[in-house]
Amino acid sequence: MRVAVVPGPRQSGLLCWLREDGSPDGDVVKVPDLVAAIRDHEQNGGARWVWPSSAGPYQRLLRGGVCVARCHDVALADALILGRDAALGAAPDEQDDAARALLRACRAADAAEAASRADQQALFDPVEAGAADRPDPRRTLDALIEVHADQLRRIAADEHPDRFGLLVTAESAGALVAAEMNLAGLPWRPDVHDGLLTDMLGPRPAVPGQRPARLADLAAQVAAAFRSHTRGRHEPVNPDSPAQLLHALAADGIRLPSTRLAVLRDVDHPAIPPLLEYKELARLHSAFGWSWLDMWVRNGRFSPEYVVGGVVSGRWASRGGGALQIPRLLRQAVVADPGWALVVADAAQLEPRVLAALAGDRAFAAAAAAGDLYAELAAAFGGDRAKAKVAMLSAMYGGAGGEAGQLLAVLRQRFPAADGYVEAAARAGQEGRVVRSVLGRTCPPPSANWRALTEEAADPDAERDPRAGQAARARGRFTRNFVVQASAADWALVMLVSLRAELAKITRPNRTQDELPSAGPDSCGAGRDQPELVFFQHDEVIVHSPRHKADVVAAAAARAASAASRLVFGPTGVAFPLNTAVVDCYADAK
């Protein structure tokens, strides 16, 4: 059962039941308390809630203690569908432009209200600032129903509607997980974080913006090294200024294109060692220093805003806080609550295994059945695991120079189907075509500038732009990697939402199944004695669990990985094992 939902004034809202094709099934119902109405439906069997975006409504529902099992996120579905149609050259449908524009205005109003009531608990109350900009609820509901029905038609018309439908369903379920993880937050010990910073940088400066003691000392060493090297001819050099550093190095006869770490490491100059250390520590201080701690950690929780499908490959991103780039050192601050544990699970060598499943390469699948894929492949390279890894990465990312090319040739001979799969994707990219992930996420089409650069001139005697070949090869490398990385993102997303369903079973064993496992109203909610998903990046998840349930959670993660393999790839001989650890501290997981 699908139900379109739009918030109204104050706590009210509009509901409309939908038929299988998305058309209305009865009259629009106005409810005085939308949160209570959705709670009642969830407790009586639930629905698939159709809304413009999960970002606004669902976070407000969660704050009211309501967790829904399923939704259809029209914004995320549109990104997949319209991206596919544009990439495949389908003409845009101008009839639904007005409806989609209205939904965009609704989502913008949701975002503005969410920002203005960040610390409020009221649900669906209008916010005075900008409230007049919210579109009329009834017009919004009509537009929502129209766009949703159009999406169902476009999904059904896909070359592989079951796969693409699974992707849309999983993307929407991912939005629910993202909101739940934002509310739960990743356990974070500010005192441990502060101690780590103090050990590396010295005490926290009393004056904001002032360099910590260690950075100030290193900056002085850099300036002194330049002065002593040239007998005092240098003006003071600020290590934060690339222009000053390049000028000072040039004055000493060293001309560099930039001050990137990779460039500086090859330079022989007395200022370089303290400068390299300064840059490493300054980067940590800037990205994850005391200011970050003050801004992002509240009540022992780090609660970033996840962006579902924020990267073209389908990987997630985050807004602010650098959630997906937590330095390994600071994982020591991620500590479970007393009596709880962190269950950390990551897919082992995911992308090579995905390639084996995509290509249907039996020999590759047999190698992937081993615990360590690279060790299993090493036999083809004289037992050298490192060479096997280089060869595999070259196959997926397009490296073919030097030793990589020789190693790749060995891999091609042993696994011709896998090699043929990525080579076909590379050719498609070089020819200006698009490629898709296993579930149907479509890569962006080439730009107009790329086409203008690479297309053959009408005059057969005209010389082709020498940059054309380079541009074509670069796009070939992109599409070669896209089919693997985007398919790995498909698998990881389905594994994540399957794990959400498995966690629901721990507290609610008698639950029904759908085309994609879903969670019920007892599957989330802060403060309950139950496991919670608290972190997800690429191929790794963290569940914060009562310690006595940690082993059950680890088994649930393994089942979720098996479910993802079955749903995404169907019958396959490729194993997708998880490395799972039950720890008190994230740093101890690896």
Looking at the structure, tell me whether residues 150 and 8 fall in a common domain: yes
Specify if 168 maps to a domain.
Answer: no
Looking at the structure, tell me whether residues 3 and 147 fall in a common domain: yes
Burial tier of 229 (Cβ tally within 10 Å: 0-12, 13-18, 19+): middle
Q: For the chain, report the end-to-end CA distance as a whole number of angstroms.
A: 43
Specify if 454 maps to a domain.
Answer: yes
pLDDT of residue 121: 42
Looking at the structure, tell me whether residues 114 and 234 fall in a common domain: no
pLDDT in tens, 131-141: 447 788 999 99
Looking at the structure, tell me whether residues 147 and 42 fall in a common domain: yes
Torsion, Cα of 469, 470, 472, 476 (10° steps): 130
Q: Choose among 71, 66, 73: nearest CA to 34.
A: 66
Asked which of 454, 486, 518 is the last residue of a domain, the reply is: 486
Looking at the structure, tell me whether residues 153 and 252 fall in a common domain: no
Q: Which residues of the chain have pLDDT under 70?
A: 91-96, 113-132, 229-234, 370, 399-407, 456-464, 508-528
Specify if 509 maps to a domain.
Answer: no
Q: Across the strands, what pairs with 5?
A: 15
Looking at the structure, tell me whether residues 479 and 371 fall in a common domain: yes
Looking at the structure, tell me whether residues 361 and 467 fall in a common domain: yes
Looking at the structure, tell me whether residues 102 and 5 fall in a common domain: yes
- Taking the model in full, what pTM does it have? 0.89
CATH label of the domain that carries residue 438: 1.10.150.20
Domain range for 98 is 1-157
Looking at the structure, tell me whether residues 214 and 124 fall in a common domain: no
CATH label of the domain that carries residue 270: 1.20.1060
Specify if 514 maps to a domain.
Answer: no
Q: What angle do CA 143, 147, 153 make, to 5 degrees?
A: 150
The two tokens of residue 157 are 């018309």
Looking at the structure, tell me whether residues 362 and 280 fall in a common domain: no
Looking at the structure, tell me whether residues 8 and 137 fall in a common domain: yes
Q: Could you give the CA distance from residue 58 to residue 74 in angstroms, rounded to a whole number?
A: 13
User: Among all chains, which residue has been given the structure tokens 């590396």?
Assistant: 200
Specify if 228 maps to a domain.
Answer: yes
Specify if 311 maps to a domain.
Answer: no
Asked which of 135, 157, 179 is the last residue of a domain, the reply is: 157
pLDDT of residue 283: 94
Looking at the structure, tell me whether residues 134 and 201 fall in a common domain: no
Specify if 333 maps to a domain.
Answer: no
Specify if 36 maps to a domain.
Answer: yes
Asked which of 107, 133, 157 is the last residue of a domain, the reply is: 157
User: Among all chains, which residue has been given the structure tokens 């802060």?
Assistant: 526
State the total domains in the chain.
3
pLDDT of residue 91: 65
pLDDT of residue 116: 60
Residues near 455 by Cβ (< 8 Å), separated by ≥ 6? none
Q: How many residues does the chain have?
A: 590
Rama region for 309: left / alpha / beta (φ>0; ψ in -120 to 50; rest): left
